[in-house]
Amino acid sequence: MNTLDVGLAYGAATLVFLFSGIPIAFALGAVATLFMLLFMPAAALDTVAQSVYEELSSITLLTIPLFILKGAAIGKTRAGKDLYDALHTWMHRVPGGLGLAVTIACGLFAAMAGSSPATCSAIGSSGIPEMRMRGYSPGFAAGLVAAGGTLGILLPPSVVLILYAVASEQSLGRLFLAGLGPGLLLVVLFGAYAMVRWRFEYRAALARGQPSPILERHNYTMRDRLAAAPRVLPFLILLTGVMGALYGGIATPSETAGLGAILALVLIGIVYRTWRLKEIVPIFSGSLGESGMLLMIIGMSLLYSYVMSYLKISQGAAAWIVGLHLSKWLLLTAILLLVVVLGFFLPPVSIILMTAPIILPPLKAAGFDLVWFGVIMSVVMEMGLIHPPVGLNIFVINRIAPDIGLGPIIWGTLPFVILMAIGVVILSVVPGIAMWLPAAVYG
């Protein structure tokens, strides 16, 4: 068999194994092992376990459990509610201020916790009822939180960017910095939409001429505005301080992860008195379940791409794409569409590790900056978190607000999918939004 046939067989086997319902990690591992057995020297099979260990024993990858622990610790407290409450007391005069406050809170929380589902459930579990109580339509409230939660995979310390750094051999520090500008751009787009949509719903309520909670005005005193500060500020200061330590060269990424997790645990103990075993145990069991599942997928995905590259499948596919001589932007569009389609079935971590060896060489040859592309790919994968029918955040929201129903949630998230697509176009036209910060810091 030539490389093309082996490659097609590899792809077909992957589809069959994944869709059979075998857990993603073991499906990828089994396909890789099967092809080792068929097409590689017998000795290769003896190295299965060693390859996984060597790929996985990278300190960069192993920051993931610690970042997840940090997110779980903050996510299990009232910090999310305190955050948007505090922001709302400052912004209530702005039309649609609550929606804006929720958007910004999502961004800040995502940056602290580094996880999309954690952000959704932390902000959404009280934010969605609060917005509905104030007269926001349920779908709008759900869509706003689902979309705001996706900022978690763009803002540092994003697990997705960590993996991309490993897969593309780009600097993690640069990638984290490059995610900040686009993260801010999305916050602005989401916030602007929240204000416009609020205005629209406000006018509709006014036209009905009946009393509606959306028409009520609230006033906050300075005391209200400062009330939550003692609870919110320690988190913001300490956790941005930890990231500052990373960029200041004081701490390595792994130390940042360890320090962040421990500080988060200490802070929730001090600020929210979360130190009883009954409250601590769910934090650890939850983050262990998530990080164990993720790292198993990562380890096996790495074995999968090792076999793909040993059999020259990835090189062949990459060379084939280069040989098509597509125009620069057509190539980018085609690759991003592929990422969207894969997003229907696979979590971002597998998409990155499985596709990086195939799609990055052609992109590099076409003259794209791989740090910039990492950010673009993250935004596109974020869309995968909220686009129907499979977006993970849709199900998270459905779990915390089951009475809204999947239909309205999906309709509520669609405008944000479009906004993110607009964001990708803006970032393609003005790459500086992503690239100026890393360039300014690292030169």
Partner 1 sequence: MTAAIEPDAFSSAEPVSGPLGPVQKALDVVNIIMAVGSAVAILAAGLILTWEVAGRYFLGMPSNWQDELSVFLLIGATFASASWTQARRGHVGIDALSHVLPPGADRVRRFLADLVAFVFVAFFAWKSWELMKEAWDEGETTPSSWGPPLWIPYASMAYGMALLALQLLVQTLQLGRRS
Query: What is the per-residue binding string for partner 1 in 102-131, x denoting contact by CB under 8 A?
Result: ---------------x--------------
Smaller CB separation from partner 1, 360 or 385: 385
Q: Does 267 bind partner 1 (CB under 8 A)?
A: no
Residue type at 381? M
Q: Which of 71, 156, 181, 258 binds partner 1 (CB under 8 A)?
A: 258
b/e burial code for range 218-240 (CB count within 10 A of at least 16 → b): eeeeeebeebbeebbebbbebbe
Q: Does 396 bind partner 1 (CB under 8 A)?
A: yes
How crowded is the C-beta side of 96, counted as CA atoms within 13 Å?
A: 22
| Contact window for partner 1 (CB under 8 A) among 13-21, 152-160, 311-319, 331-339 | 13-21
Q: Does 80 bind partner 1 (CB under 8 A)?
A: no
Instruction: Write down how long the chain is.
Output: 443
Contact 104, 87 (CB under 8 A): yes
Number of amino acids touching partner 1 (CB under 8 A): 66
Q: Does 65 bind partner 1 (CB under 8 A)?
A: yes
Q: Which of 253, 144, 224, 124 is nearest to 190 (CA)?
A: 144
Q: Does 261 bind partner 1 (CB under 8 A)?
A: yes
Integer Cα distance of 285 and 72 in angstroms = 10
Residue type at 282? P
| Contact window for partner 1 (CB under 8 A) among 55-63, 167-175, 198-206, 425-433 | 55-63
Q: Does 40 bind partner 1 (CB under 8 A)?
A: no
Q: Which of residues 286-305 bind partner 1 (CB under 8 A)?
A: 286-293, 295-296, 299
Smaller CB separation from partner 1, 395 or 411: 395
| Cβ neighbours of residue 1 closer than 8 Å, sequence gap 6 or more | 9, 39
Q: Which of 254, 315, 333, 428 binds partner 1 (CB under 8 A)?
A: 254
Q: Does 240 bind partner 1 (CB under 8 A)?
A: no
Q: Does 241 bind partner 1 (CB under 8 A)?
A: no
Integer Cα distance of 178 and 232 in angstroms = 26
| Contact window for partner 1 (CB under 8 A) among 22-30, 92-100, 146-154, 175-183 | 22-30
Query: What is the per-residue binding string for partner 1 in 187-226, x denoting contact by CB under 8 A?
Result: ----------------------------------------
Q: Which of 281, 330, 431 is nearest to 371 (CA)?
A: 431
Tokens 């609550």, located at residue: 98
Integer Cα distance of 22 and 5 in angstroms = 24
Q: Does 71 bind partner 1 (CB under 8 A)?
A: no
> By three-state DSSP, how is residue 347 classified?
coil
Contacts of residues 238-241 at CB distance under 8 Å and 24 or more positions apart, as own/partner, are 238/263, 238/267, 239/70, 239/111, 239/112, 239/263, 239/264, 240/111
Q: Which of residues 316-355 bind partner 1 (CB under 8 A)?
A: 345-347
Q: Which of 390, 422, 425, 430 binds partner 1 (CB under 8 A)?
A: 390
Q: Which of 220, 164, 177 is nearest to 351 (CA)?
A: 164
Smaller CB separation from partner 1, 59 or 324: 59
Contacts of residues 330-333 at CB distance under 8 Å and 24 or more positions apart, as own/partner, are 331/362, 331/363, 331/366, 332/363, 332/366, 332/368, 332/376, 332/428
Q: Which of 59, 229, 233, 430 binds partner 1 (CB under 8 A)?
A: 59
Integer Cα distance of 44 and 107 in angstroms = 46
Smaller CB separation from partner 1, 120 or 154: 120
Smaller CB separation from partner 1, 1 or 250: 250
Q: Which of 7, 35, 55, 66 binds partner 1 (CB under 8 A)?
A: 66
Q: Which of 3, 11, 13, 30 binds partner 1 (CB under 8 A)?
A: 30
Cis amide prior to 389 (ω within 30 degrees): yes
Residues near partner 1 (CB under 8 A) are 17-27, 29-30, 33, 45-46, 48-50, 52-53, 56-59, 62, 65-66, 69, 117, 245, 250-252, 254-255, 257-259, 261-263, 265, 281-282, 284-293, 295-296, 299, 345-347, 390, 392, 395-396, 399
